[in-house]
Each structure stands twice: as C-alpha cells, then as structure tokens.
Structure 1
Amino acid sequence: MSDIQSIIVREMKVKPQIDSQEETESILQFIKNYVQSHEFIQSLVLGISGGQDSTLAGKLCQMAVESLREEGRECEFIAVKLPYGQQKDADEVEDALEYIQPDRTITVNIKPAVDQSVASLKEAGIELTDFQRGNEKARERMKVQFSIASNTSGIVIGTDHSAENVTGFFTKYGDGAADIAPLFGLDKRQGKQLLQYLDAPQHLYDKVPTADLEDDKPQLPDEEALGVTYQDIDDYLEGKQVPCEAKAKIEQHYVRNAHKRELAYTRYTWPKN
C-alpha cells in the first residue's frame, strides 16, 4: 500500500474482511449504547430509499429498538418515505419496508417544498442547475427527517458508509447530515454481506446503486457518476492493489471532497500556517 492509501484506510476504519455476526452485533450494540446514553431519545428516524444502504441501516435500527424494548427501554423506529413526486423505484421502497418491518412508517412528498424553494431562488436571481436542484432534494429530505425526529424526541440515522465517505458521494448537510452513522467502517460489499446474513431479499442488495437526484439523469448509477467502480473502491479500502487509474480517481475524490467530512471551522480550529 502507498502512504496515502494507508492513511485513508486507517481513517475509513475498513477491515480487510468482516465476520457477519460479529459486525452485526457490534453495530447493534453501538446503536443501543447511544440511545441508552441519551435519556431524551424515544425514536430512531431514517429515510428509506429502497437501496442497499437504507435497507441495511433500517433493518439494524428495527432490530436495535426491539432489543431495547426487551430490556425495558421504550424506543421506536420510524421509517420515512420521501418521494419527489412519483418515485420510479417505489416498488423497491415497499419491498424494503416489508423486509424491515418498521414500527411506524411516515410518507412525506418533498416535491412541493423543493419546487417552491427552487422557484423562490429563481425569483431572487439564482437559477439552480439540475445538479444543484438534486442537492435541494437531498437537503429537503434530511430537513424532514430532523423535523420528525424533533417531533418524536428522536435522532436521525445516517446511511453513510466508508465507500461513500471516502469519495464524498453525499450532499453536504443533506444525506451527509445525521446524528449517528452506524454503517461507517463498512465498504459497499461488506454492507451487501450483512444484508445477505440478515436474509434480505436478493434484489435489494443487488440493486444498482443510484442517488437518483438529477432530473436530467434519472437513475444515474453511482459508479458512472463517480468514474470508478465500487469493486475498486472496496478493494482500495481493504488495502488491496487497484488499477492506477482507479487509485488516482479515488484519491482525487478523497482530497477534493475533504471539506464534506469536516465540521464548520472557527477561528480557533482553523489550522495555523
């Protein structure tokens, strides 16, 4: 491994391989410990997209709250459907919910709020690109989840994992915003491994990953947007050698999107020259 790859692997906490049972139990215990250390928490809130990451996080959250209730701590899992109008993969969202069996499901159509925000900006002389409108959708979805969490004395669960984190493939203060991120430390194939272990329907973990935020590029695969495959990203994070072109692309994403992994600086925390 090169020096920079070693640094990134350490930061992303990815193991070369995982034991499915041990990893599942570790994540469940982390969620439970966080809830138990905060008396106000009565709910876990997560948007369900029908993709691998939210399906896995949702299943783990439901398992965690059921375990907490068995131990005498009242807590519920609230799954949130957040379509922008008519969602193209709505059937897969329903399949994911059927698999997760959440305590409660809430549906909020974000289209009116997003469209009004875009229109208001346009009236002010700011016309957003299609990519920027996609970020509006991601931030509106997260805003809704935090509103539900506030209303139900809860916290918002993030789906960010290390293959996504290293590339910065998330919207800053959108899907990148959450109270806890239990999937961090896993790469994409390890998330799939856990869903297989947890008996998820195969089509949910074999689904082509897509953020599906851009109107001009519906269902754009993540790998096409990133310019590198998840296989190469996962291999890189597991400390394996990858093709030079893929290595360069991953490290380019890592450096360029470093700001997304940082909290807001103050005059006391900005590195001095």
Structure 2
Amino acid sequence: MCLESTPEATEEKRSRQAVQRAIGVQLQARADIDAQHEIERRRDFLCDIMQESGQTTLVLGISGGVDSTVAGRLAQLAVEQRREQGEQARFVAMRLPYGVQQDADDADKALAFIQPDEVLDVNIQGASDALLESLESGGLTFDDAGQRDFVLGNIKARQRMVAQYAVAGTRGGLVIGTDQAAEALMGFFTKYGDGACDVAPLTGLTKRQVRLLGQHLGAPAELVNKAPTADLESLAPQKLDEVALGVSYEEIDDFLENRDVSERAFDTILTTYRRTEHKRQLPIAPG
C-alpha cells in the first residue's frame, strides 16, 4: 500500500494544511482577490492614513522591481485623490543606488510609469562604505569576505531607510514599505532596513497577486514579470531571491494560498518562517 493512502499520511497532510491555513491567516493572505477592488482599497487606505496622521507627503524608494512599482503607483494615485478632495498631498519617489545600479533602466521605467510628483536621487554608497570602514577602524572583524559582504548588504538596506526617513521628516511625510505576504512569510527583508516603514499597502498580497495588481494598473510587462532580486550582495550582484531563499515564489504563494506544495518546499518554508519570527515582532520586552 502506498504511504500516501495510510491513515498516518492522511493525518500528516491535514496537519500541514492546518499549519498553512494558520500562517496564511496571520499574514492576512487570501487565495482569491479582485484586483481592481484591491487597488482601490489600498489607494484609499493610503488616503485615510494621510488624513488621520495629518501628514501631507508619501515617500518611497523605487528599485525597478514589481513591489516598489505597484506601491509607488498606489501612492501617486492616493495623493492625486487627496488633491482632488482639496487637500495638500505629494508623493516623493527616491532613487537609492549603491554606486551604479545594474538594472537602473528598470528603475527609470518604473518612474516613467508611476509619474511621481518628485524624484530624488541619493547614492548611498559613500555613507554605507564610510560606516563599514568606521566599524572596522573601531575594531570590528569578520570571519571572511562573505560575512563582511553580508553585513554591508544590511547596512545598504538600512541606509536607504535612513535617507527615506530624512526626506519624510523634512516634508511632513510617511514612509511606504513594500513588504507583502511572500516576503513576510520568509522574513526576506532587513530588520530596520526595508522592513521599516510607516505604512505597508501591499500587506497580505502574495507575489503573484502583486503582479496581478501591476497588470491591472498598466505597469510595463517587463517589470511585472521581472525575476526579483534584493541585490544587496556586492560579491553576488543581481542574485535572484529564489536562489537565496531555496524555494520559488510559486511555491511560497501556493503555501500562503493553502494549495498543495511539495514536502521539501513545506519544510523549507516552515523552517525559515520560524527562524525569522523575530523580524515580524516588536522588540522583545520583559513580561
């Protein structure tokens, strides 16, 4: 008799499905969405937050990937709606390269599509390198070049957020994050770097759903379908997210949408989810 047909195998499958459902609920993921409704709902969410907070500016770094492209267009639609309501509102998009961005053309295409009110171009290489050099001058040592590069990658991510909050503080603004359910599930963000923000309009969306919103918004197909890369590692430029994660976004999305995934994918995702739990929580405090 095949293992899959035994009572033990059936119970194990039910247990795995229960885990998937529970995690999906926690991350606000849903299997089916109406793209146009989600676009309007998330645009209105940004409008409401601006009204409630009294802030007049939205700030977001544009990388050229689908997440920042979709979030950026939602931000621009939100501030335009606020202005139609007679309120002051502005969206500031930021280019935040480390030196020369290899996929700079994609960032340009994203900005052309988003049509932000203002674009600021801030190169973070000087600040990032200076901090690393100061740390080493202060006595910090690394096990090898790979560890040093990893630390520098997180410095880059945090330096980008430092720049965005500087603009937000100057303009009376809110910083937008691009975190969605797939990245949240895998903890695939830098704590207090790209994981830091005031508002996260893509929350709960799987990667394929972000792409769907991009399609409905009219984003360029090459950006909607672009293979995601965090591009934080200088020793491995343009390293694909799926290579770093060890699992595909298709499998991650299936997990979130409570669809069947392979045992290997399930184990990889669940192990990573548990290991990165601290990233999804507030700082630990005494009870």
Shorter-chain TM-score bucket reads over 0.9
- Of 196, 200, 205, 1:186 maps to 205
Tell me the equivalent position of 1:262. Answer: 281
Secondary structure class of the residue paired with 1:135: helix
**AA at the equivalent of 2:230:** A
The 5 Å alignment of 1:80-119 reads 80-119=94-133
Distance 1:261 1:65 in 2: 29
Native 8 Å contact 1:149 1:155 kept in 2: yes
Distance 2:131 2:113 in 1: 34
Distance 1:166 1:127 in 2: 32
- Stretches of structure 1 lacking an aligned partner (at least 5 in a row): 269-273
- Of 76, 82, 106, 1:62 maps to 76
**Per-residue deviation at 1:38?**
1.3
Normalised by the length of structure 1, the TM-score is 0.96
**Per-residue deviation at 1:88?**
0.4
**AA at the equivalent of 2:242:** E
The 5 Å alignment of 1:122-161 reads 122-127=136-141, 129-161=148-180
Secondary structure class of the residue paired with 1:218: coil
* Larger CA deviation: 61-70 vs 12-21: 12-21
Distance 1:155 1:98 in 2: 22
Could you say which structure has the higher helix fraction? 2
The 5 Å alignment of 1:74-85 reads 74-85=88-99
Tell me the equivalent position of 2:190. Answer: 171
- Of 19, 27, 35, 1:20 maps to 35
Tell me the equivalent position of 1:2. Answer: 17
Native 8 Å contact 1:118 1:127 kept in 2: no
**Runs of 4+, deviation exceeding 2 Å:** none
**Per-residue deviation at 1:232?**
0.3
Distance 2:285 2:24 in 1: 28
- Stretches of structure 2 lacking an aligned partner (at least 5 in a row): 1-15, 143-147
Secondary structure class of the residue paired with 2:53: coil
Q: Deviations over 1:83-134 (max 9, x none)?
A: 1011101111100000000000001100000010000000111135111110
**Could you say which structure has the larger radius of gyration?**
2
Q: How many residues align?
A: 267
**Per-residue deviation at 1:266?**
2.1
Tell me the equivalent position of 1:271. Answer: none
**AA at the equivalent of 1:202:** A
Native 8 Å contact 2:92 2:119 kept in 1: yes
Distance 1:253 1:48 in 2: 27
